[in-house]
Amino acid sequence: MPGLAARLREEILNSGPLLFQHFMAEALYNPDQGYYARPAGQVGRGGDFFTSVSVGPLFGRLLAAHISAWWQEAGSPVRWRIVEAGANDGSLALDILAALEASGAEYVVVEPLPLLAEALRQRSAGALRVVDSTTSLAEDPLPSFVLGNEVLDALPFHVIESDGELWHELGVEVSDGRFYWTDVGPAPADLVAKLPTRPVGYMTEVRDNIGSFLSAMATGMAGGRMLWLDYGFDREDYYHESRTTGTLRTFSRHRAAEDPLESPGEIDITAHVDFTALAEAAEAMGGTVIRDQRQGLFLTEIAKPWLLSLEGRTDVAKDLRAFQTLTHPGQLGAKFRVMEIGFDPP
């Protein structure tokens, strides 16, 4: 089978420039050759980047306490569900499940990539229900806690550039076998309707798929919560005049770079999340933003019972180090933001 770069070159030569969003979707999620299609290996010390999950099981244990508190608040329903997107190798899911003990939760992982889904089934030996989409959950709606760590930043986005008046959409062209950026014309009006006018050459990103992603994740929810953890800004800050080259980054072997057209399928491609767009999408679905704060503060709040239980114990140095990594503003505490959305029962 030709490599992904060769297939993308062929597609461009046959049909003309590809929108960057399409190029990115192929580079990350082509089911055979996309960056995320291979089982595991991307996240963690030996991979390309760290996440809060790579810090260790404490993150999952703290989230489990938070989920459990919501479940009790909801009247401890006998049947309920946790639904995770972007579970990757399943570490967070298994950490949460182990900490929840006998709560009776069904833990569903939504994994559209077949090789990853199979690896998750094998690793979890039946403990996780792995589905390729949420469609099947609609047949049996349940109170649900839906979550995802660093998923929204991985949703394919459009790259746009200002000509001083209008936003233009950028696509990907090929010359001498190399990919390069090309202007494919004015961006669709609804894509850029909420963005400010910016000077010539200002380049940034915008997503039009947050709403559809949230609605898909809400399928099968008979009320409950959604919790999204990611890096991002309010819209005003995201499109601030000083941020002239946007937030697009690539990651390979723990090194950040900025050319997403290099080596499709071999590197991670990401951009910050517009949290204003996330809140708007949630509210348009009838959700209410009940929390929007830095990860450090969020975890410190939900860790109170755990922190109190540590008094007098001497065997917790490792957990305390992990807690500091997750919450310290100089480490992950200020890098990540947490938005929690409430949905009333029907």
Ligand X SMILES: C[S@@+](CC[C@H](N)C(=O)[O-])C[C@H]1O[C@@H](n2cnc3c(N)ncnc32)[C@H](O)[C@@H]1O
46 neighbors 40 (Cβ within 8 angstroms):
no
Question: In terms of CB distance, is 17 or 264 closer to ligand X?
Answer: 264
CB atoms inside a 10 Å sphere around CB 133 = 11
260 touches ligand X (CB under 6 A): no
- The single residue among 27, 43, 146, 273 that binds ligand X, judged by CB under 6 A, is 43
Find tokens 């349940």 and name the residue. Answer: 142
DSSP conformation letters of 273-284: EEHHHHHHHHHH
**CA distances, 23 to each of 27, 36, 170, 300 (Å):** 6, 14, 11, 39
What DSSP character marks residue 17? P
65 neighbors 99 (Cβ within 8 angstroms):
yes
Let me know if 109 is exposed, middle or buried by CB neighbors in 10 A (0-12, 13-18, 19+): buried
18 touches ligand X (CB under 6 A): no
Smallest distance, Å, CB 198 to ligand X? 28
Give the x/- contact pattern for ligand X in 120-149, rule: CB under 6 A: -----------------------------x
- The single residue among 20, 23, 36, 157 that binds ligand X, judged by CB under 6 A, is 36
Residue nearest to ligand X (CB): 86
Smallest distance, Å, CB 91 to ligand X? 7
Question: In terms of CB distance, is 174 or 273 closer to ligand X?
Answer: 273
Give the x/- contact pattern for ligand X in 273-312, rule: CB under 6 A: ----------------------------------------
Residues 48-77 that bind ligand X (CB under 6 A): 51, 53
Question: In terms of CB distance, is 90 or 224 closer to ligand X?
Answer: 90
Q: Following CA atoms 91, 97, 99, 101 in sequence, which dihedral angle do they give, to the nearest 10 degrees?
A: -160
* Six-digit token string for 296: 């450090």
- Residue 59: name the closest of 221, 225, 227 by CA: 227
208 neighbors 158 (Cβ within 8 angstroms):
yes
88 touches ligand X (CB under 6 A): yes
Residues 190-249 that bind ligand X (CB under 6 A): 213
- The single residue among 83, 110, 170, 269 that binds ligand X, judged by CB under 6 A, is 110
* Six-digit token string for 318: 């490792």
85 touches ligand X (CB under 6 A): yes
Smallest distance, Å, CB 85 to ligand X? 4
Smallest distance, Å, CB 151 to ligand X? 4
**Which residue blocks in the chain are alpha helix, DSSP H?**
4-15, 20-29, 58-73, 91-100, 114-124, 189-192, 210-218, 235-238, 275-284, 295-302, 304-309, 317-327
Smallest distance, Å, CB 104 to ligand X? 24
CA angle 146, 69, 335 (to 5 degrees): 60
Smallest distance, Å, CB 253 to ligand X? 15
CB crowding 288-324: b at 16 or more within 10 Å, else e: ebeeeebbbbbbbebbeebeeeeeeeeeeeebeebbe
Smallest distance, Å, CB 156 to ligand X? 8
Give the x/- contact pattern for ligand X in 144-183, rule: CB under 6 A: -----xxx--xx----------------------------
Smallest distance, Å, CB 14 to ligand X? 27
Question: In terms of CB distance, is 43 or 322 closer to ligand X?
Answer: 43
**Which residues have CB under 8 Å from 284's CB, separation 6+?**
211
Single out the segment in contact with ligand X by CB under 6 A; choices: 110-118, 185-193, 309-317, 318-326.
110-118
Enumerate binding residues for ligand X (CB under 6 A). 36, 43, 51, 53, 85-86, 88, 92, 110, 112-113, 149-151, 154-155, 213
